[in-house]
Amino acid sequence: MWAFVLASAVLIAVPGPNMVYIVTRAAAHGRRAGLLSALGVETGTLVHVGLAVAGVAALLAGAPAASGAIRCAGVGYLLWLGLRALRHRPAPAAPIVPESAARMFRDGALVNLLNPKVALFFLAFLPQFATTPAGLLVHGTVFFALALAADLGYALAGAAVGGRLRVGGRWPGMIYLALAGYAALA
């Protein structure tokens, strides 16, 4: 289990779409948005755990076309987020109006569910440590706890940076578009 915890911690620490999404949301919209986005992202992790326990991850591992379709959907969703953010430009002096809590949570969950890095983890990495449904559940829960702690930290850090820099403008949309490019090439 310690080898799994260490490997998971390293994987979680590597910047990817989930982390950048949470930090961007928190920096642009504040701590509440970052925390809701982190909770949404990790709800997506719970869905991945459930799918792995149910055997769906093993089925997807044998279907490269399905895995590719999920990756394309993730790229498309990040492109949509980026274009939406670029279209919605508040006046420089106007405060940024946050989106609804449900939307921030949902967007976080979708970013995770369509994240190729997380899908690859549950398809290729997790089965190296556990093969039974009970083992997958235990290891998936450990991964969830580690990722949630890290993501909540990223949300708080992003909010602190955003509060100090008073960021706004087009940069969140540009980051989402860059994430789409990263996901397309990953």
CA-to-CA distance for 182 and 111, rounded, in angstroms? 13
- Is the distance from CB of 107 to CB of 40 less than 8 angstroms? yes
The 10s digit of each residue's pLDDT in 87-103 is: 765 555 445 555 789 99
Mean pLDDT of all residues in the chain? 80
Is the pTM above the cut of 0.85? Answer: no
Low-confidence ranges of the chain (pLDDT < 50): 93-94
